[in-house]
Structure 1
Amino acid sequence: MTALDDLPIRDELRGETPYGAPQLDVPVRLNTNENPYPLPEELVARIAERVGEAARTLNRYPDRDALTLRTELAGYLTRVTGHEMGPREVWAANGSNEVLQQLLQAFGGPGRTALGFEPSYSMHALIARGTGTGWLSGPRTADFRIDVAAAVRTIAERRPEVVFVCSPNNPTGTAVDADTVRALYDAAQAARPERGALVVVDEAYEEFSHGPSLLPLLDGRPTLVISRTMSKAFGAAGLRLGYLAADPAVVDAVQLVRLPYHLSAVTQATALAALEHTDTLLGFVGRLKEERDRLVRELRAAGCTVTDSDANFVQFGLFEEEGGAHAVWEALLERGVLVRDNGVPGWLRVTTGTPAENDAFLDAVRAVMKERRQ
């Protein structure tokens, strides 16, 4: 049988493994940052209605530019952030990963580099590699904040064409303040005075944050991009709908590399139905924020070190001995609870679940911590 390394794949892909988290059949799965609440029945019925309407014209290609959907997404952003947006400033694709891929296809590529601040969302580096874009890892402080002074120096020295900022950051949950983004944006433009550099703020978890969106920073910053998703706050991970907000010229740029008719009529119909039920879905977000804060309190009470979180997940540890984090991961799994081992030394990440799921997780953690103390 032919092995992967026997194939004429690109050299930078050799030895790599696909992105993904374990999909195990256990009672409590809290490892992929999904929204644990099923869509309400009235929304399911509305999705069926809209998809049924779309099905009547599936012999035709969908709206190539998804203009109706982009208009509704712009309206949603305007309402929740207070920053006026129009459809020409919004672009949608199959999950925020495709949005990021299109941005790197347009602004990255061979001979160009992207900079991110690790640990962070690992798909930033993987998509960079997949598009032939060089990858640079920028500095963070011991508490997982971006080291602004060191980051500005790195940008000046390495002159990346694309800079990624994740806020709230995955897997740490830490948010990034507006002053930090302003400093990184200014440094990136100064390093590339001829045409500037693209700065992408990944706000996949923004609806769960204590603080405001960074969307208002778009004003006067033509190469700043805000990326978002419907997978988390909208409880629609299976939908695969991501979107960006940016200067209309950036939207024009990603259309140069998008595949023809990339967003199906069924996807567009489902997303439009979900947007009709925004208030209901964001009500679930309020519950999850309360549960997330409870997880932080109870994990600390159990003797864990916990990173302050603005997302729908919590990073906890600190299991400093070699292999300690993975040993705790295995001990929790033995008790029927699946969390995420991201490979950050000493740390694990748990998604906020339903109250019952969180109770089961916390009971398992307390038992494991008691064993460790003994």
Structure 2
Amino acid sequence: MSTIADLLRPDLRGRSPYGAPQLDVPVALNTNENSYAVPPAVVAAVTKAVSRVVPRLNRYPDREFVELRTDLADYLQRSGGVAVRPEQVWAGNGSNEVLLHVLQAFGGPGRTAIGFTPAYSMHPIISATVGTRWVDGMRGVEGHGVFDLGVAGVVAQVREHRPDLVLLCSPNNPTGTALPLEIVEAAHDAAPDAVVVVDEAYAEFARPGTPSALTLLEGRDRLVVTRTMSKAFALAGARLGYLAASPDFIDALRLVRMPYHLSAVTQAVASAALTHAPELLGTVEAIKVQRDRIVAELTGLGLDPVPSDANFVLFGGLDDARATWQSLLEHGILVRDVGIAHHLRVTAGTPEETDAFLSAMRELAPTHRQEQPL
């Protein structure tokens, strides 16, 4: 008789599921959540919106979520000055589901996706779930910083592997670095038969002057830009991600989505939140202050933080990253071990959370720093 392991798809055997630790600690800075609670005015608006739809939960929700797509398009136009129409917008239960729709429609057996490691760890996992071959593209191949991407390196790797999908992150997770638009354009032009996805989950935290790939959508039907309301909007628990692309691209996603995949409650919560975008985004600047403070103070401790355009900081210079992770946990602080030797990633939280993290690092740094060669 076959076991479950025997029945599992061969390409999934031996794999580990995604899992960031969910521990009860005083200071949780490991999953890039927004540390600030939803403002009372937004709570009231969301509660009122949900109360309106609850009596009608006996009926299926709007399958096309037209009101929400209109609200998302309006937000993108207001915040980025880019003309995005509702028919160019798609949404799902978190940006991971949106990315899954893209991989379901344009990936699959016999097709290849490429990303540039280190990058968002869910990209290869989502690719695997739909049987898409994953290629770990390399960073730092042009002799620049180990985490840097350059036009020549991206173009060379895209041409070599001839992928069906190219996945880019800007700002990148876990490094926090944003991409110049020249790289997006170069990847798009070097892969004329591929979908190019730019994951902009942390776009609202970017430093002034950082461009969005939304400005490149016009005339590029194979380009997709994904966003989320989990981070800057402080709505990780609501699970609402979205993308902008051409109307033809959106039509293709309808072929793979489950019927009525966005509940009436999710649609109501997201639309109500979007009407209060200024209040929800009011913490972004405060978080950026803490992010830049972390970079400056870790540098002063002799560590090697990466300047970030996101709401987190990747920092290196640790002798044993896992040992530092454990020591921070013993101080009641949970950060993220992203599997990069000598590095950890910390979310920029409230001033009090940053105080706790930096206080612990001031204590730990003298004995946890990586020895520098003479």
* TM-score, length of structure 1 as denominator length: 0.95
Question: Residue type of the partner of 1:355?
Answer: P
Indicate conservation of the 8 Å contact 1:339/1:351, yes or no. yes
Deviation per CA, 1:315-359: give whole Å up to 9, x if none.
Answer: 00122x4xx111111111111111000101111000011000000
Of 198, 201, 209, which residue of structure 1 is paired with 2:198? Answer: 201
1:178 aligned residue: 181
Match status 1:214 vs 2:202: no
* Cα distance, 1:200 vs structure 2: 0.1
Deviation per CA, 1:240-275: give whole Å up to 9, x if none.
Answer: 000000011110011110000000000000001110
* Cα distance, 1:144 vs structure 2: 0.8
How many Å separate the matches in 1 of 2:151 and 2:292?
27
Deviation per CA, 1:15-48: give whole Å up to 9, x if none.
Answer: 1111011111111110000000000111111111
Cα distance, 1:166–1:354 mapped onto 2, change above 3 Å: same
* Cα distance, 1:214 vs structure 2: 1.7
Question: Residue type of the partner of 2:60?
Answer: Y
* Cα distance, 1:212 vs structure 2: 2.7
Indicate conservation of the 8 Å contact 1:91/1:244, yes or no. yes
How many Å separate the matches in 2 of 1:3 and 1:44?
48
> Among the aligned pairs, what percent are the same residue?
56
Indicate conservation of the 8 Å contact 2:29/2:333, yes or no. yes
Match status 1:350 vs 2:346: yes
Structure 1: stretches of 5+ with no match in the other structure:
190-195
Deviation per CA, 1:72-91: give whole Å up to 9, x if none.
Answer: 00000001111111100000
Indicate conservation of the 8 Å contact 1:139/1:147, yes or no. no
Count of equivalent residues: 363
Cα distance, 1:91–1:372 mapped onto 2, change above 3 Å: closer
Match status 1:302 vs 2:305: no
Indicate conservation of the 8 Å contact 2:150/2:183, yes or no. no
* 1:104-183 correspondence runs (5 A): 104-141=103-140, 142-183=145-186
Deviation per CA, 1:115-142: give whole Å up to 9, x if none.
Answer: 0001000100000000100000112013
Deviation per CA, 1:205-260: give whole Å up to 9, x if none.
Answer: 00000113221110111100000000001000000000000011110011110000
Q: Select between 290-299 and 143-152 the one with higher mean Cα deviation.
A: 143-152
How many Å separate the matches in 1 of 2:220 and 2:184?
11
Match status 1:327 vs 2:330: no
Indicate conservation of the 8 Å contact 1:81/1:212, yes or no. no
Deviation per CA, 1:254-312: give whole Å up to 9, x if none.
Answer: 11100000000000000011101101111111111111111111111111101110000
Question: Residue type of the partner of 1:133?
Answer: T
Question: Residue type of the partner of 1:335?
Answer: H
* Cα distance, 1:3 vs structure 2: 6.8
Q: Select between 290-299 and 28-37 the one with higher mean Cα deviation.
A: 290-299
How many Å separate the matches in 2 of 1:360 and 1:83?
40
* Cα distance, 1:147 vs structure 2: 3.5
How many Å separate the matches in 2 of 1:236 and 1:177?
28
Question: Residue type of the partner of 1:159?
Answer: R
Structure 2: stretches of 5+ with no match in the other structure:
none
1:100 aligned residue: 99
How many Å separate the matches in 2 of 1:22 and 1:15?
20
Indicate conservation of the 8 Å contact 2:337/2:344, yes or no. yes
How many Å separate the matches in 1 of 2:345 and 2:225?
24
How many Å separate the matches in 2 of 1:50 and 1:344?
43
Runs of 4+ in 1 over 2 A off after TM superposition: 2-5, 370-374
* Cα distance, 1:12 vs structure 2: 1.3
Question: Residue type of the partner of 2:199?
Answer: D
- What is the SS of the residue equivalent to 2:237? coil
* Cα distance, 1:4 vs structure 2: 5.2
Indicate conservation of the 8 Å contact 1:116/1:136, yes or no. yes
How many Å separate the matches in 1 of 2:279 and 2:211?
20
- What is the SS of the residue equivalent to 1:238? helix
